[in-house]
Amino acid sequence: MSAVAASIIAACARALAGPSVRWVNCRPSSRQRVYFANHTSHLDFVVLWSVLPRRVREKTRPVAAKDYWSSGLRKRIAVNAFHAVLVERGNKTAEPDRLAVARNTLDMLLDAMGQEHSLIVFPEGTRGNGLQVGPFKSGIYYLWSKRPDVQFVPVYLSNLNRILPKGEFLPVPVISRVTFGAPLRLDANETKDSFLTKAHDAVCALRDA
């Protein structure tokens, strides 16, 4: 049932957001990947998920904030339909607990991926205004350091902030665009800063691609 519900929601999201999809130097594939994108709207993960080919999206799980997605209908959509991984946001926890929360989150993500699932993550950690891509949180770097075998695919989502911006609950059906870029090319000795810079640049480069 959940697969049907997810397909229906995805079809609605596609009708609402009318996304045009482009794969720039990248092809859809069911191998394990981490899709990381800019974040401007609650629709982001639904639309990104909905434009993946069916066999790919069956194995792709979004990562979403627990504080927003863990109650009522939202929880049913996120958890039951999309098998989302709900994580605590670092900025919502007190300083002494942060490290523990971060470790816990990382374990959850690794667990959720297993040997076959891909993830959709939003490394900014919060929704931006759609004009600039905010700085990336370090979680994605730690994910890579544990799973360097997985492809990290940058994605740029255009116009979703105009469909359902922060602070609004009614959507406006503007045409959106989803651009997938080439998987990051990384060295084994990548530092946290160099990784995050490469990842951030890769997403921004797709904005005008």
Q: What is the closest distance, in whole angstroms, from the C-beta atom of residue 50 to another protein in the complex?
A: 17
**Residue 20 engages another protein in binding (rule: CB under 8 A):** yes
**Residue 208 engages another protein in binding (rule: CB under 8 A):** no
Part in contact with another protein (CB under 8 A); list of ranges 77-85, 103-111, 114-122, 158-166: 158-166
Q: Residue 77 burial (CB < 10 Å; 0-12/13-18/19+)?
A: middle
User: Given the complex with another protein, which of 43 and 109 has the nearer CB atom?
Assistant: 43
Find the binding residues for another protein in span 32-51 (CB under 8 A): none
Q: 70: Cβ–Cβ under 8 A, 6 or more apart, which residues?
A: 78, 79, 86
**Residue 75 engages another protein in binding (rule: CB under 8 A):** no
**Closest to 118 (Cα-Cα) out of 60, 170, 169:** 60
130: phi > 0 → left, psi -120 to 50 → alpha, else beta; which? Answer: left
Q: Tally the C-alpha atoms within 13 A of residue 58's C-alpha that lie toward its C-beta.
A: 5
Instruction: Build a one-symbol-per-residue string for 173-202: x at contacts with another protein by CB under 8 A, - elsewhere.
Output: xxx---------------------------
Q: What is the closest distance, in whole angstroms, from the C-beta atom of residue 180 to another protein in the complex?
A: 18
Q: 146: Cβ–Cβ under 8 A, 6 or more apart, which residues?
A: 106, 110
**Closest to 109 (Cα-Cα) out of 63, 162, 48:** 63
Using CB under 8 A, pick the residue from 8, 12, 100, 172 that binds another protein: 172
User: Given the complex with another protein, which of 18 and 28 has the nearer CB atom?
Assistant: 18
**Residue 171 engages another protein in binding (rule: CB under 8 A):** yes
**Residue 168 engages another protein in binding (rule: CB under 8 A):** yes
**Which amino acid would we find at residue 97?**
D
User: Strand pairing of 85-87 and 151-158?
Assistant: unpaired
Integer Cα distance of 100 and 106 in angstroms: 10
Q: What is the closest distance, in whole angstroms, from the C-beta atom of residue 172 to another protein in the complex?
A: 4
Instruction: Build a one-symbol-per-residue string for 117-156: x at contacts with another protein by CB under 8 A, - elsewhere.
Output: ------------x---------------------------
Which residues contact another protein (rule: CB under 8 A)?
A: 18, 20, 129, 159, 162, 165, 168, 170-175
